[in-house]
A = this chain, B = another copy of it.
Amino acid sequence: MTPSKPIVPSAAPDPYKERILEAARELFTANGLEAVNMYAIAKRAGIGQGSLYRRFSDKGEICSLLLRDSTDRFLLSLENELALPQADKAALDHLRSSISRIVGFIEQHAELLQLIKSEFTGKKQLTQFEHPFFRRLNEFLTQLLRRAAAGGEISPVDPQFTATALIAVLSPDLYLYQMKQHGSTKEQITDGIFALFVTGIQKGQ
């Protein structure tokens, strides 16, 4: 039994992955996302294309992992709040503040998220909603909506569908479109979402 790897699996899970991510990060920051291809990443990492594709089937997966730290921290911070004891009737306020934070996150990483999404939906026959990030976000939002429903805060909507619809509206695609085509600000977009997904489903009034 070799004590180098089996004992601490997190210490060196795959040295190649690190080198690939390092190479990708360097090339991305130097040339932009679009200008970098898989061959160049393999070359830069000093490995063969086969070894690269064995780990990442496309650029989107590399970007996903580059964002992994950020997304994990972000999702965890959302999820942790969910575990805290809440005052009654606070779920909708909680939803409102979560949406604000999510829009902020989308804004911060719009370009990378957009590429991840297009690669993810392009190859594979998948929808954006099946990506781990959106899947986890969906679970979070569904739970929040269920809580609001249980507390009688909202009219009887389907929490699962509403969460998915909310994610569709929170997608980087819509964000980038509103910015580019209509010069919307982050605040305008957030308010627009509030109107539909907070005020709109609020019970009474």
Contact = CB atoms under 8 A, between A and B. Distances in A.
A177 B118 contact: no
Nearest to A135: B181
Interface string A183-199: 01000110111011101
A127 B196 contact: no
Interface of A: 118, 121-122, 127-130, 155, 157-158, 160-162, 164-165, 168-169, 171, 173-174, 176-178, 180-182, 184, 188-189, 191-193, 195-197, 199-201
A201 B200 CA distance: 6
A129 B193 contact: no
B192 A196 contact: no
A44 B130 CA distance: 36
A181 B134 CA distance: 14
Given A127-B173, A127-B174, A157 B122 contact: no
Nearest to A161: B192
Contacts of A178: 161, 164
A196 B162 contact: yes
A38 to B, nearest CB: 16
B192 A201 contact: no
Ordered nearest first, which 7 A-B pairs have the shortest CB separation? A200-B200, A161-B192, A127-B177, A129-B177, A168-B168, A127-B173, A157-B195
A197 B122 CA distance: 29
Nearest to A201: B200
A55 to B, nearest CB: 23
